[in-house]
């Protein structure tokens, strides 16, 4: 789009073409009933819906989804198998009929925490692998370089093999997209780690814990709420992964120095 760029040092005003990150509503209907409207970057939408349903606990496995149909007008129809009690799942998720802005921070309730199971994984990852993979986010983040308006997330195997990458205006959406991509390709989450650009809040850690990802690493900081959930879920939480340094807030035994 055309913008006006002002440079006070050069004392210039000029009209230029520039890239702007997209944000559009996606309306999700489960069994023909409105579940949520998510503001997101309109790319990898089916994957985002799959990842969102898994990471929010609406479905427990990919097999519970009978069909997903995407419509051009920004509507996604999700058809679950008839034996799934969707009303019960929605009550436990505590997020029914909602609008989710891209910049939101999620919420969690005592009911969700009671049902949170510790992550079971014997995976070990070299510290240098974590550093290299987080650094690679910047190299892969083409939309961020153009617009500066999106977050990036990626899921890697323990040896650093990339399994999924996504960008979105919302950091939660970026994570959901990578989870959905991996789920659709039958990736074993317990053998992987999640790398992202956003801060490590409770909602982000919960998403990883619910699908069994044992390690999260970010360029950004960890919040106390995220650390609390990581401890409850036996999840390795790493923040400020920059250069040759990183801060490990929980379960450092999964990180190897050599």
DSSP 51-101: HHHHHTTS-SSGGGEEEEEEETTTEEEEEE-TT--HHHHHHHHT--SEEE-
First to last CA, the chain: 48
What percent of the chain is predicted at pLDDT more than 70?
91
The predicted-structure confidence for 152-181, as pLDDT tens digits, reads as follows 999 999 999 999 999 999 999 999 999 999
Task: Report the predicted TM-score, pTM, of the whole model to 2 decimal places.
Answer: 0.89
**Four-point Cα dihedral 234, 136, 207, 20, nearest 10:** 150
For residue 104, indicate whether it is catalytic. yes
Least Cα distance to 221 among 206, 240, 204 occurs for 240
pLDDT at residue 102 in the model: 61
The residue from 40, 76, 104, 133 that is catalytic is 104
Per-residue pLDDT of 55-87, as tens digits, reads 988 999 999 999 999 998 899 999 999 999 888
């Amino acid at each position: 789009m055309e913008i006006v760029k002002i440079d006070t040092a050069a004392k210039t005003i000029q009209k230029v073409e520039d890239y702007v990150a997209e944000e559009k509503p996606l309306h999700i209907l489960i069994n023909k009933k409105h579940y949520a409207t998510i503001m997101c970057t309109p790319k990898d939408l089916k994957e985002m819906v799959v990842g969102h349903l898994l990471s929010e606990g609406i479905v427990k496995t990919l097999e519970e989804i009978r069909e997903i149909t995407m419509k051009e007008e920004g509507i996604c129809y999700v058809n679950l198998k008839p034996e799934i009690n969707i009303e019960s799942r929605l009550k436990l998720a505590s997020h029914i009929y909602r609008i989710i802005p891209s910049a939101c921070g999620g919420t969690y309730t005592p009911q969700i925490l009671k049902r949170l199971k510790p992550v079971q994984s014997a995976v070990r990852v070299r510290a240098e692998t974590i550093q290299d993979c987080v650094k690679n986010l910047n190299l892969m983040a083409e939309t961020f370089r153009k617009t500066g308006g999106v977050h990036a997330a990626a899921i890697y195997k323990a040896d650093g093999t990339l399994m999924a990458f996504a960008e979105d205006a919302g950091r939660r959406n970026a994570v959901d997209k990578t989870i959905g991509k991996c789920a659709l390709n039958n990736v074993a989450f317990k053998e992987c780690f999640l790398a992202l650009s956003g801060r490590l809040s409770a909602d982000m850690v919960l998403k990883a814990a619910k699908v069994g990802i044992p390690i999260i690493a970010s360029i950004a900081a960890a919040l106390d709420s995220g650390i609390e959930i990581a401890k409850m879920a036996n999840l390795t939480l790493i923040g400020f992964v920059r250069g040759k340094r990183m801060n490990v807030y929980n379960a450092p035994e999964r990180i190897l120095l050599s």
